[in-house]
């Protein structure tokens, strides 16, 4: 379940994108909710990206959607560490939006053995 957020995605070793399913209502929207779970093993070199709407909105440029920009940035930097990938994405967010990051979230997990 992604609790009302956009679905996370995995970029594999070859750069192919797999959007993970899930859904559900936002956390805190109700007193009691039941969330479905999903699991998937990460293989060597794969990158899991979990992000908020605010993150992709901040990356939006003209006709390029913020999600397309996020995917491109992760692909371009997938040989780097997870922390370096986060820095690469955050460096593309305009200063004015970077200062008001309330609600913005980006988590990148890279599988390496």
Q: Decide if 80 is inside a domain.
A: yes
CB atoms within 10 A of CB 45: 15
Q: Decide if 93 is inside a domain.
A: yes
- Whole-number pLDDT of residue 37: 78
Q: What is the mean pLDDT of each run of 10 residues along the chain (113 residues)?
A: 78 94 66 78 95 90 91 96 95 68 81 86
Q: Decide if 51 is inside a domain.
A: yes
Q: Decide if 2 is inside a domain.
A: no
- Whole-number pLDDT of residue 66: 93
- Whole-number pLDDT of residue 3: 63
Q: Decide if 71 is inside a domain.
A: yes
How many domains in the chain? 1
Give the C-alpha distances (Å, rounded to integers) separating 28 from 2, 3, 48, 50, 54: 13, 9, 25, 19, 18
- Whole-number pLDDT of residue 34: 75
Domain, as residue range, for 43: 9-110
- Whole-number pLDDT of residue 6: 84
Q: Decide if 36 is inside a domain.
A: yes
């Amino acid at each position: 379940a992604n609790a009302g957020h956009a679905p996370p995605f995995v970029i594999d070793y070859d750069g192919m994108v797999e959007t993970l399913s899930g859904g559900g209502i936002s956390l805190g929207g109700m007193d009691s909710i039941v969330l479905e779970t999903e699991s998937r093993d990460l293989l060597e070199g794969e990158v899991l990206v979990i992000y908020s709407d605010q993150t992709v909105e901040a990356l939006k440029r003209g006709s390029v959607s913020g999600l397309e920009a996020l995917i491109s940035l992760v692909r371009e930097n997938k040989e780097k560490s997870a922390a370096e990938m986060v820095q690469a994405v955050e460096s593309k967010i305009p200063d004015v939006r970077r200062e008001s990051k309330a609600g913005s979230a980006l988590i990148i997990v890279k599988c390496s053995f």
